[in-house]
Amino acid sequence: MAAPGGVLLVFAVVAVIVAVFYGAGPAVSWATVVLLGLIGMASLSLRRLRQRNGGTNRRVCVLVLGDIGRSPRMRYHSLSLCKHGFSVTFVGFVGPKLFVYITKVVVQCLQLLSVLLRMELQSHLLMQNPPGLPSISVAWFVCIIRGSRLIIDWHNYGYTIMALSHGPRHPLVRLAKWYEHFFGPLATHSLCVTKAMKDDLQKNWGIRATTLYDRPASFFRETPLEVQHELFLRLANTHPQFQSSSSEQEEETLEKTLFTARDLTDDAVTRRTKRPALLISSTSWTEDEDFSVLLKALEAYEGFIRGGASLPSLVCVITGKGPQKEHYRRQIASLHLQHVNICTPWLEAEDYPVLLGSADLGVCLHMSSSGLDLPMKVVDMFGCCLPVCAIHFSCLHELVKHEENGLVFRDSQELAEQLKSLLSEFPSSQSKLGMFRRNLRTSREQRWDDNWDQTVLPLIAAP
């Protein structure tokens, strides 16, 4: 809201204009007077919106038109900015699901305009795409009015995600593609997640982007055995898959889970010798991940054991929430598995990295809608030195090195054979699975902070 003095000034200017043109006689219409008055008011408002002060260059708005909880990369951006002394305004929300799509876009436009025009002037506006409709156009418009610089962080293309449910020739998909192609190049700077996306943006969109690979935050690391035990105890309270299967006649001095045991006399925690392997996958339960691939592979793994193969039992934990979760939970309930237990918990944010750091193997079913982005979940798993089996798509090799830090599969049968191969010597550290973990330990790449400091900070700090 304008200061009272500013409002009085606007009225004074309008009054002068009216008096001048009123004195000029009837040749000048009142419509002209009103128009000039509006122009004067708009000019004053624009001046106020662009008025900078000593703190403007240290303020950045981070925009996510969606679920902040599912945007770790943008949260990391915000933390990095704060560490370097910037004042960060984080804008993120989800539009009401009851509105039809067009109504939702209009409402979000008005909401976003209201929020961005009322906040303090920011030197930069850093936004995530997708979702980019309507946020790219609104953010660009606000930056033009206020003199801020727009940075778009391209995680994927919104129209390719939309095509998963509507088909590539749907009018909305074609409109979304035109929209991204038109407004995307208007940003001051662009970031992207892979070299393949950088090349595609340059070749097909005329956008010169800087590749900022996702890197794990510092809290993604291997979990100490004592912390693993505490997590398994908590999970056992609500998920029987983690409860000890031992008889009640065993020593009362041992506190057991299915995977670990604590000697209550000296508090020492050890892994149980006959424990199952702990397999983990995470998902937002959307169309870009077909979890029937994993379920069929687990059925085949069960078949290997029933056929006499010397393999450990499996506990498969699939974390996350999303629209298709109940559909897959019904599929899981219909399976008849004796050697594979599956649970689908929703973990607290602080427990997720602890579970990753406690697991034996990760599975990723992310199928990129564009073929140009990389799964953040694998980045986090590698931060915990957790080997991965990941489903193939075109630029996955930029992250998963086949036969070095994990394996790449194309269908459920190939995944089943990989599980059999990796777990045939479990829990020996001299197995192929153990080799992958050692490779991850010795080839640790940059963490997020160092990578961000080298790549993004120069863009933000530039005059």
User: Over the stretch 85-99, which tens digit does the pLDDT of each residue have?
Assistant: 999 998 876 654 444
**331-371 pLDDT tens trace:** 999 998 999 999 999 888 899 999 999 999 999 999 888 98
Q: Do the beta carbons of residue 81 and residue 57 sit within 8 Å?
A: no
- Asked whether the domain spanning 225-443 has the same topology as the one spanning 56-215+452-461, the reply is yes
Q: Cα–Cα distance between 214 and 332 in angstroms, integer?
A: 32
State the residue for tokens 């998902």: 283
Tell me the average pLDDT across 405-430. 95
pLDDT at 10 over 50: no
Residue 1, exposed/middle/buried by CB under 10 A (0-12, 13-18, 19+)? exposed
Amino acid at residue number 242: F
Q: Do the beta carbons of residue 214 and residue 395 sit within 8 Å?
A: no
**120-174 pLDDT tens trace:** 999 999 999 998 888 899 999 999 999 999 999 999 999 998 898 889 999 989 9
Q: Do the beta carbons of residue 151 and residue 83 sit within 8 Å?
A: no
Confidence band of 416 (pLDDT split at 50, 70, 90): very high
Q: What is the pLDDT of residue 53?
A: 74
**394-409 pLDDT tens trace:** 899 999 999 999 999 9
Q: Report the candidate in 241, 237, 239, 265 with the shortest Cα–Cα distance to residue 251.
A: 265
Q: What is the pLDDT of residue 97?
A: 47
Confidence band of 249 (pLDDT split at 50, 70, 90): very low
pLDDT at 19 over 60: no
Q: What is the pLDDT of residue 165?
A: 84
Encoded tokens for 372: 């140009």
Confidence band of 45 (pLDDT split at 50, 70, 90): low
Q: What is the pLDDT of residue 30?
A: 55
**251-286 pLDDT tens trace:** 678 899 999 999 998 989 999 988 999 999 998 888
Beta-carbon contacts of 50 under 8 Å, excluding residues fewer than 6 positions away, are: 121, 145, 146, 147
Q: What is the pLDDT of residue 262?
A: 94
Domain boundaries, the chain: 56-215+452-461, 225-443
Tell me the average pLDDT across 168-197. 94
Tell me the average pLDDT across 182-202. 96
pLDDT at 198 over 50: yes
pLDDT at 35 over 60: no
Residue 281, exposed/middle/buried by CB under 10 A (0-12, 13-18, 19+)? buried
Q: Do the beta carbons of residue 193 and residue 211 sit within 8 Å?
A: yes
Topology adopted by domain 225-443:
Rossmann fold (3.40.50)
Q: What is the pLDDT of residue 135?
A: 87
pLDDT at 6 over 70: no
Tell me the average pLDDT across 32-39. 57
Q: Do the beta carbons of residue 416 and residue 304 sit within 8 Å?
A: yes
Q: What is the pLDDT of residue 66?
A: 73
Q: What is the pLDDT of residue 4?
A: 42
Please give the class, per CATH, of domain 56-215+452-461. Answer: alpha beta
Q: Do the beta carbons of residue 114 and residue 141 sit within 8 Å?
A: no
Q: What is the pLDDT of residue 323?
A: 87
pLDDT at 12 over 60: no
Q: Report the candidate in 428, 405, 406 with the shortest Cα–Cα distance to residue 415.
A: 406
**302-336 pLDDT tens trace:** 999 999 999 999 999 999 888 888 999 999 999 98
Confidence band of 67 (pLDDT split at 50, 70, 90): confident
Q: Cα–Cα distance between 437 and 386 in angstroms, integer?
A: 6
Q: Cα–Cα distance between 268 and 245 in angstroms, integer?
A: 20
